[in-house]
């Protein structure tokens, strides 16, 4: 399992670097697609078909949207990096971040023994008939989930019953993003002939003074 994941991850890293450094936007988007499919594949391998299916679908949608944004534009290539001094600082911070993150990750339990599978998070004892003691809630989801919710798929049980409130939030996020996108791409934004924007526009000193 570890080997398979490692190979996939290296592939993902390569496509990530490619997506960032390719000059053509379209190739970059396609590299991102490769990354997404690799990650869906690793979800399948990790026993998460419930995540893999939406991941593939979301990838397709993301690709369609991103390709729509890149096709037919005058400039297809990127013009490189930002100014170098800022880059140097951020790379330094990034290396610092990497060191600390890897340090922290080394203190995670090993693969297959994290989260609910960690020794410390196992339920203490389960005397028959006693209340379930969820040291980690996932034990409850797996052992009691199907009975108490009637959903054999415990992921769905978590999503829609135990933590349905999160899913309401998720649907709301999608709604928000959609309303936001529709608002941003509307034809006219102001109903009075455009107020002069005071901030950075030196060309508009006080015209339309008595707009009320």
Partner 1 sequence: MVYCLIILLFAVGLYGVVSQRNVIKVVISLVIMEHALNLLLVVLGYGKGGAAPIRVPGESPAALASRAVDPFPQAMVLTAIVIGLGVTVLMVAIALRLYQRYGTYDIAEMRRLRG
Partner 2 sequence: MNGMSTVVKTVARWVIGFILLVGLWLVAYGHLSPGGGFPGGVVIASGFILLVLAHGGRSADRVFPRPVARVLDSVGALSFLFLALLGLWVGGEFFRNTIQKGSPGRLHEVFNAGIIPFANLAIAVKVSMSFVVAFGVIAACRLRAGGAFESEEED
Partner 3 sequence: MADLNLLPLAVAIPLAAAFLVPLVPKKSRALANAIALLASVGLAAVVLYLLGRSGSYAVGGWKAPVGIELRLDGLSWLMLAVVAGVSLCIVLYATRYMDHYTARGKFYALFFLMIAGMCGVVITGDLFNMYVFLEIAAIASYALVAFGCEAEELEASFKYAVLGSIASSFVLLALALLYGRFGTVNLTQLAGKIGSASEGAKPLITFAKVLLFVGFGLKAALVPFHAWLPDAHPSAPAPVSAMLSGLLIKTIGVYALVRLAFTVFGLTAGDKVSVALMTLAALSILAGNVLALAQWDFKRLLAYSSIAQIGYVVLGIGLATPLGVAAGLFHLVNHSVFKSLLFLNAGAVEQATGTRRLDEMGGLRERMPVTGATSMVASMSIAGVPPFSGFFSKLLVIVACVQATSVGPIRYVFALVAVVGSVITLAYLLKVQRHGFFGKLRDKWRDVREAPFMMSSAMVLLAVACLALSLLWLPGVRELILDPARKVLVP
Q: Which residues 19-78 are close enough to bind partner 1 by CB under 8 A? A: 19-20, 25, 28-29, 32, 35-36, 39, 42-43, 45-51, 54-55, 58, 61-62, 65-66, 68-70, 73-75, 78
Give the single-character DSSP code of 77. Answer: B
Residues between 181 and 210 with contacts to partner 3, criterion CB under 8 A: 181-184, 186, 188-192, 195-200, 204-210
Contacts of 23 (CB under 8 A, 6+ apart): 77, 78
CB of 200 to partner 2, least distance (A): 17
Locate tokens 């496509």: which residue? Answer: 15
Nearest CA to 162 among 154, 173, 152, 170? Answer: 154
Residue 26 CA neighbour count, 13 Å, CB half? 7
At 49, list the tokens: 């078909």
Sign of the torsion formed by the C-alpha atoms of 15, 64, 174 and 162: negative
Token pair 């100014």 is at which residue? 83
Q: Which of 70, 68, 38, 31 is nearest to 55 (CA)?
A: 38
Closest distance to partner 1 from the beta carbon of 120 (Å): 14
Token match 């590299």: residue?
A: 31
Answer for which of 31, 38, 140, 154 binds partner 3 (CB under 8 A) is 140
- Please pick, from the candidates 85, 105, 187, 190, the single residue that binds partner 1 as defined by CB under 8 A: 105
The CB-of-92 to partner 2 minimum distance in angstroms stands at 36
Say how many C-beta atoms besides its own lie within 10 A of residue 44's C-beta. 14
Min separation Cβ 210 and partner 1, Å: 27
Q: State which of positions 159-198 bind partner 1 (CB under 8 A).
A: 159, 163, 166-167, 169-171, 173-174, 176-178, 180-181, 184-185
Q: What are phi and psi of 13, to 5 degrees?
A: -60, -45
Judged by CB under 8 A, the residue of 148, 195, 196, 204 near partner 2 is 148
Query: Which stretches of the chain bind partner 2, using CB under 8 A?
Result: 49-50, 52-54, 57-58, 60-61, 64-65, 68-69, 72, 74, 146-153, 155-157, 159-161, 164-165, 167-168, 170-172, 174-175, 177-178, 181-182, 185-188
């Amino acid at each position: 399992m570890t080997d398979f994941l490692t190979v996939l991850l290296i592939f993902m890293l390569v496509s990530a670097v490619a997506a960032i450094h390719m000059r053509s936007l379209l190739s970059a988007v396609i590299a991102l697609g490769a990354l997404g499919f690799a990650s869906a594949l690793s979800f399948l391998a990790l026993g998460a078909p419930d995540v893999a299916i939406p991941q593939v679908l979301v990838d397709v949608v993301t690709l369609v949207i991103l390709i729509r944004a890149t096709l037919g534009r005058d400039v297809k290539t990127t013009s490189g990096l930002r100014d170098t001094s800022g880059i140097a600082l951020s790379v330094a911070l990034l290396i610092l971040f990497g060191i600390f993150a890897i340090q922290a990750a080394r203190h995670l339990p090993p693969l297959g023994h994290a989260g609910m599978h960690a020794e410390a998070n196992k339920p203490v004892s389960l005397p028959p008939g006693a209340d379930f003691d969820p040291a980690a809630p996932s034990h409850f989801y797996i052992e009691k989930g199907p009975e108490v919710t009637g959903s054999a798929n415990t992921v769905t049980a978590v999503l829609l019953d135990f933590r349905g409130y999160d899913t309401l939030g998720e649907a709301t996020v999608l709604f928000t993003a959609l309303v936001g996108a529709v608002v941003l791409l509307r034809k006219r934004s102001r109903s009075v002939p455009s107020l002069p924007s005071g901030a950075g526009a030196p060309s508009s000193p006080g015209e339309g003074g008595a707009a009320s």
